[in-house]
Structure 1
Amino acid sequence: MKSTINKLFTLCLMSLVLFSCEKDEERLVLRQGAAPTLSATSNSVELTAETKGEDAITMNWTAADYGYEAAVTYTLQFIAEGGDFAAAREVEATPGTLSKTLTVAELNTLAVQLGLSPNNEGTLQVRVQSSVAESVTPTYSNVVSFNVTPFLDIIEYVSLWVPGSHQGWDPGSAPKVSSVKDDGVYEGYVNFPEAETNFKLNPAPNWDNDFGGTSSGNKGTLVAKGDNLQVNGAGYYLLKANTNQLTWEAIKTTWGVIGDATGSWDNDQDMTYDATAQVWKATLQLSVGEIKFRANDKWDINFGDDNADASLEYGAANIKITEAGRYEVVLNLANPGNYTYTLTKL
């Protein structure tokens, strides 16, 4: 009898311990933490290419309080003013820290990714998300706003200048074609608004040396100090030159946006060239999905974005649209080797 009572007592004690553990565990899983408080070291930041390795801004926040020792992950979420945090650009903080410093280059990339125009002041908004586990709802800090003026980070490549009848034969103000690999192979995009354009290719923005040559069907050969090169037909051209093989070619292009975010991978949404701004533009209703830019309704010449940094590469990854809405889409091919785009939600 005594043995039976002892066994029952032990069983009840074990049940009580298990019940207590389950209740404690339940409280640990379900308790939502107290949100952190966020602040920034500046409310206005001007970014320049000359200072891109320097610190731009630091975000500081208080620790989220979950009522127990927790390994908290903090993630900064950035949007352009008026945007949706569901489509934010995220920057994860180093574990165990309560601050994050962004360099000029990092903040510039974020600003451009979020649609801010280079050399124009815009406003970014940021909050910090704290999370401990998938079973616990994340908490979010207050939203901090600050102004930022991004820059267009242009890499200066070895180039040929393109003076001609399209711009008054002035090498100093002429558009350029560039050799990204410095291998004698050049390309760039040039607007020729006349039915017939005569031009030359100059190794410097002066008349000390130049390439002319022969022209037939918008291509030909290069000859030092040769006859004017000639393109027939007004338009926006991909201009190529090879100083090793002494050849050149001009391919007329019109540009469009294509992808499931526009409704179909079968039909392009045409863009319009703005000669004053030297960019292609379109105002489009985009859904969540992906897009690319391509020329002449074909895939021979197309751009994507491998690094999601608003910088374009030939044949690169699709560009993700994470928030549906009406957008101004701008394609900038004016700086050879530095092709960019912006997506501004209207």
Structure 2
Amino acid sequence: MKNISKYLIALLSIITFSCTDSVMDREEVTAGSPPVLAVPTSGLTIVLDKTKPNDLVSTMVWSYASYSGTNTVVNYTIEFAKAGTNFAKPVVIASSLEKFKKFTVSELNTAALDAGFLPFVESAIDVRVKSTVGTTGSIAQTSNSFTIKLTPYPAWPDWGIIGSATPTGWDSDTNLDYDLSTKTYSITLNMVVGEYKFRLDDAWSTNFGDNDNNGTLDAGGANIPITVAGSYRLVIDFNGKTYRITKL
């Protein structure tokens, strides 16, 4: 029994020494040279066309970053920032393990909107590439940057409010404003005693009312009443099928 115990202790010592030695021999990963963004260059102007969402509109190309030490996967992220802000608030719009990233019209439009750039407005955008290594995304290296001009289009459904309580009655919709950060629609308007509903794309094929007048939207539901005239603020969540109306 004593011999077996001695054997186990010796074996454990060998394993421990081997593992420690392996860790000590592992070379630390350090930054070498950052990626270099080659395309697109400054001066590129893009007006995105909503009717061609699947068309290839741009390809961003850069050189591989270098790192010394144990081989590891290098991850690349593409960042957008408002031009002239020195990337104080960068937004990651895409990632890649390669040294390029292709964008369709729809993908680039979504990237611009998610980064906070307004539809139908030409925005000057600084773009760069950042490299990191490992699963924790450490040891970052950033590329040079270029400034492009980009005009996105709205990529959310066109909801409106309509009814006898609204300024245009049942004849036409009043468009609702969309908030990218909250994914909700809203509007402030003067309303009279009457009724209203919400509908999509100025048509009755998709519309919402409220059968119980309890703030829950019902597809094709009952008209929502306004019993006191005045200025109202409405906030609508069509994903959650709820709305909130407040008299100001």
TM-score in same-fold range (> 0.5): yes
Cα distance change, pair 67–154 in 1 and its aligned pair in 2 (3 A):
closer
Provide the C-alpha distance between the structure 1 equivalents of 2:174 and 2:30, rounded to a whole number of angstroms.
62
Residue 44 of structure 1 and its aligned partner are, at CA, apart by 1.4
Instruction: Tell me the secondary structure at the aligned position of residue 224 of structure 2.
Output: strand
Instruction: Tell me the secondary structure at the aligned position of residue 29 of structure 1.
Output: coil
Provide the C-alpha distance between the structure 2 equivalents of 1:81 and 1:88, rounded to a whole number of angstroms.
11
Matched-pair contact (CA < 8 Å) for 2:162–2:170: no
Equivalent residues in 2 for 1:50-69, closer than 5 Å: 50-67=51-68
Query: 1:119 — aligned with what?
Result: 120
Provide the C-alpha distance between the structure 1 equivalents of 2:186 and 2:137, rounded to a whole number of angstroms.
52
Task: State the identity %.
Answer: 19
Partner AA of 1:248 in structure 2: I
User: What RMSD, in angstroms, separates the aligned Cα atoms of the two structures?
Assistant: 4.8
Query: 2:103 — aligned with what?
Result: 102
Moved over 3 A (4+): 67-70, 82-87, 91-94, 133-136, 159-165, 188-192, 196-206, 238-244, 250-255, 312-316
Residue 141 of structure 1 and its aligned partner are, at CA, apart by 0.7
Query: 2:225 — aligned with what?
Result: 249
Partner AA of 1:39 in structure 2: A
State the Cα deviation string for residues 78-101 of structure 1 (Å, max 9, x = none): 222234646422245333x11011
Provide the C-alpha distance between the structure 1 equivalents of 2:106 and 2:137, rounded to a whole number of angstroms.
36
Residue 156 of structure 1 and its aligned partner are, at CA, apart by 5.3
Cα distance change, pair 315–127 in 1 and its aligned pair in 2 (3 A):
farther
Provide the C-alpha distance between the structure 2 equivalents of 1:89 and 1:135, rounded to a whole number of angstroms.
16
Partner AA of 2:84 in structure 1: G
Provide the C-alpha distance between the structure 1 equivalents of 2:138 and 2:173, rounded to a whole number of angstroms.
59
Matched-pair contact (CA < 8 Å) for 1:162–1:176: no
Q: Does 1:147 align with 2:149?
A: yes
Cα distance change, pair 76–154 in 1 and its aligned pair in 2 (3 A):
closer
Cα distance change, pair 201–254 in 1 and its aligned pair in 2 (3 A):
closer
Matched-pair contact (CA < 8 Å) for 2:45–2:150: yes
Matched-pair contact (CA < 8 Å) for 2:110–2:155: no
Partner AA of 2:147 in structure 1: S
State the Cα deviation string for residues 152-173 of structure 1 (Å, max 9, x = none): 124357x884367723x682x4
TM-score where L is the length of structure 2: 0.58
Q: Does 1:93 align with 2:70?
A: no
Cα distance change, pair 126–191 in 1 and its aligned pair in 2 (3 A):
closer
Cα distance change, pair 107–250 in 1 and its aligned pair in 2 (3 A):
farther
Cα distance change, pair 76–139 in 1 and its aligned pair in 2 (3 A):
same
TM-score where L is the length of structure 1: 0.44
Residue 131 of structure 1 and its aligned partner are, at CA, apart by 2.0
Matched-pair contact (CA < 8 Å) for 1:34–1:64: yes
The structure with higher relative contact order (CA 8 Å, sep 6+) is: 2
Structure 2 unaligned blocks of 5 or more: 1-19, 177-184, 204-209, 244-248
Residue 31 of structure 1 and its aligned partner are, at CA, apart by 3.2
Query: 2:39 — aligned with what?
Result: 40
Residue 314 of structure 1 and its aligned partner are, at CA, apart by 4.3
Instruction: Tell me the secondary structure at the aligned position of residue 152 of structure 1.
Output: coil
Residue 37 of structure 1 and its aligned partner are, at CA, apart by 0.8
State the Cα deviation string for residues 193-212 of structure 1 (Å, max 9, x = none): 26x45678799979xxxxxx
Matched-pair contact (CA < 8 Å) for 2:40–2:146: no
Matched-pair contact (CA < 8 Å) for 2:48–2:105: yes
Equivalent residues in 2 for 1:105-184, closer than 5 Å: 105-133=106-134, 137-155=139-157, 161-162=162-163, 166-167=167-168, 171=171, 173-175=172-174
Instruction: Tell me the secondary structure at the aligned position of residue 109 of structure 2.
Output: helix
Structure 1 unaligned blocks of 5 or more: 1-17, 178-187, 207-218, 221-237, 256-294, 296-300, 304-311, 317-332, 334-346
Residue 61 of structure 1 and its aligned partner are, at CA, apart by 0.5
- Which of residues 70, 73, 95 is equivalent to 1:71? 73
